[in-house]
Structure 1
Amino acid sequence: MTRAAAAVRPLVLMYHGVGTRTARRDPFCLFVPPDTLHRQLRGLLDRGWTPLTLGRYLRGDFPARSVLVTFDDGYRALLDEGVPVLRGLGFPATAFVLGGMFGATSTWMADMPDEPLLDADGVRALADAGLDVECHGWDHTDLVNADAATLTRQLGRAAAVLADITGRRARAFAYPYGAHDADARRAVAEAGFSLAFSVHDGAGRYAVPRVDINATETDATFRLKTWRGYPTARRMSGAVPSLRPALHALIGHAHRP
């Protein structure tokens, strides 16, 4: 990415699953209904945002009002319900999948351990559908304070398995839970990734922050989260713990069955 491009860093959105889930089945609000995803992405296009592939993001070849859409974890529902939305809009996206959990379920979350993940054929299908398929680690292990063997498995081994499936080396990494420390960032760079994404806590090229989009978003909160000043406002609100819940109560939440 060029220095000029870095000065106008694109908006990076972080989704997880696509589909309609009850609050009981999805207590972490990870799944956005397909019609909501369509409305959100259609709205970005209508407001003049340029959607980016990962390659274009890395080249720094984008106008100031640009957005990279990412999906974490590699849920099977992304292929079944998300890809049709993306294809219908011609909207590129990047998916971060777990190299050691193809065909498994979301067992790292005790409150929702049974959500199906893509198998190897599903990961290939994502790539064939035009998504950039990148690395999210081996099994969703937190990399903060990880030892060398863990980092090797979560980065090098996961990337190698993913390359066998997609036919190309992963260029980007997304930290499980968005969590990272200096050793994890160094290991990501040494493993050959071009950049890595966190969530709210940024630290240069190997911890690029993203804005999380979840099942509770209304049209108003989505517009708020795509405002350029939102990350700064969110950090500032951390100093006043009651402020963020109060704002959400004022703006509202999407109804969930």
Structure 2
Amino acid sequence: MSHTLTARQALVLMYHGVGRRSARQDPFCLFVPPDTLYRQLRGLLDRGWTPLTLDRYLHGRFPRRSVLVTFDDGYQALLDEGLPVLRKLGFPATAFVLSGVLGGTSAWMAEMPDEPLLDAAGVRALADAGLDVECHGWDHSDLVNAGTGTLARNLVDAPAVLADITGKRARAFAYPYGTHDAAARRAVAEAGFEIAFSVHDAAGRYAVRRVDINATEVDATFRVKTWRGYPTIRRMSGAVPLLRPALHSLIGFAQRS
């Protein structure tokens, strides 16, 4: 795999849930309505973007305007409301699931602890539908400054459970919260993963940057986030604390109940 080429040329989008949730139900804006997801992905296709499977992404042979779509956490709603959209468009995607809380809820978030997660049958259904089902760890533990036991549970035990369900060894890892340090990146590599994804903080093959897409996006902000220079714009705007929300307000926010 030519990782430098892949990381430079492919846009990697990070979604979480798919569905309609009120601001009270989803204070972190994690759930994108199905019609919005359809419009966003349809727009990418109409503008000439090539959607990638994880395998094609890893091989690094694809057109310059290529996109890998990922979904974190493994919510039941991805199967119920996201998969029909992906099927309708013929759009591949990669789902990062939490092996230790299958069939449970989003208890790691005190503000929204009750969102249902896929059980083993749901994970198998995603894999059978053609999605790449990959590893997000055991229970959404932050791996920064993690001890050896936590690292082993998230990077050894978690993919072993997934392999029992899907029949395939996980090739990719996504850091919970997008956070990582040198020890976590080294542990991911030693665990046999081919690649790992962060969110905003990139650090080579084992912390590839993704662009987060959330419930507040309007068509204009989604287009901005697909610009090749968006990570640089975001980083520069972060130096001025009020600039980013001001720009977002100027462009617009999706209305939420």
What range describes the TM-score normalised by the shorter chain of this pair? over 0.9
1:41-76 deviations in whole A, cap 9, x for unaligned? Answer: 000000000000000000112110000000000000
Q: Match of 1:225?
A: 225
Match for 1:196: what amino acid? A
> Taking every aligned residue pair, what percent have the same amino acid on both sides?
81
Match for 1:249: what amino acid? S
Per the normalisation by structure 1, the TM-score is: 0.99
Match for 2:239: what amino acid? A
Q: Is the CA contact (8 Å cut-off) linking 2:29 and 2:216 kept in structure 1?
A: yes
Residue 6 of structure 1, CA deviation: 3.5
Q: Match of 2:154?
A: 154
Q: Match of 1:11?
A: 11
Looking at structure 2, the residues matched to 186 and 52 of structure 1 have their Cα atoms a distance apart, in angstroms, of 26
Q: Match of 2:83?
A: 83
1:192-218 deviations in whole A, cap 9, x for unaligned? Answer: 000000000000000000000000000
Looking at structure 1, the residues matched to 150 and 6 of structure 2 have their Cα atoms a distance apart, in angstroms, of 31
Helix, strand or coil: the match of 2:100?
coil
Q: Is the CA contact (8 Å cut-off) linking 1:175 and 1:198 kept in structure 2?
A: yes
Q: Match of 1:103?
A: 103
Q: Is the CA contact (8 Å cut-off) linking 1:159 and 1:169 kept in structure 2?
A: yes
Q: Match of 1:126?
A: 126
Query: How many aligned residue pairs are there?
Result: 257
Helix, strand or coil: the match of 1:173?
strand
Q: Match of 1:44?
A: 44
Determine whether 1:206 maps to 2:178.
no
Q: Match of 1:20?
A: 20
Residue 3 of structure 1, CA deviation: 6.0
Match for 1:214: what amino acid? N
Helix, strand or coil: the match of 2:160?
helix
Q: Is the CA contact (8 Å cut-off) linking 1:8 and 1:64 kept in structure 2?
A: no
Specify whether residues 7 and 203 from structure 1 end up closer, same or farther in structure 2 by C-alpha distance, changes over 3 A only: closer
Helix, strand or coil: the match of 2:64?
coil
Looking at structure 1, the residues matched to 6 and 125 of structure 2 have their Cα atoms a distance apart, in angstroms, of 32
Q: Match of 2:195?
A: 195
Helix, strand or coil: the match of 1:62?
coil
Q: Match of 1:116?
A: 116
Looking at structure 2, the residues matched to 92 and 28 of structure 1 have their Cα atoms a distance apart, in angstroms, of 25
Q: Is the CA contact (8 Å cut-off) linking 2:6 and 2:58 kept in structure 1?
A: no
Looking at structure 2, the residues matched to 246 and 238 of structure 1 have their Cα atoms a distance apart, in angstroms, of 12
Residue 5 of structure 1, CA deviation: 2.7
Helix, strand or coil: the match of 1:239?
coil
Query: Considering only aligned residues, what root-mean-square deviation do their CA atoms show, in Å?
Result: 0.9
Q: Match of 2:94?
A: 94
Specify whether residues 190 and 151 from structure 1 end up closer, same or farther in structure 2 by C-alpha distance, changes over 3 A only: same
Match for 1:95: what amino acid? A
Q: Is the CA contact (8 Å cut-off) linking 1:92 and 1:130 kept in structure 2?
A: yes
- In structure 2, the gaps of 5 or more residues are none
Helix, strand or coil: the match of 2:45?
helix
Residue 4 of structure 1, CA deviation: 6.9
Looking at structure 2, the residues matched to 9 and 175 of structure 1 have their Cα atoms a distance apart, in angstroms, of 21
Looking at structure 1, the residues matched to 78 and 208 of structure 2 have their Cα atoms a distance apart, in angstroms, of 23
Specify whether residues 4 and 141 from structure 1 end up closer, same or farther in structure 2 by C-alpha distance, changes over 3 A only: closer
Runs of 4+ in 1 over 6 A off after TM superposition: none
Q: Is the CA contact (8 Å cut-off) linking 1:198 and 1:207 kept in structure 2?
A: yes
- In structure 1, the gaps of 5 or more residues are none
Q: Is the CA contact (8 Å cut-off) linking 2:17 and 2:31 kept in structure 1?
A: yes
Per the normalisation by structure 2, the TM-score is: 0.99
Q: Is the CA contact (8 Å cut-off) linking 1:5 and 1:62 kept in structure 2?
A: no
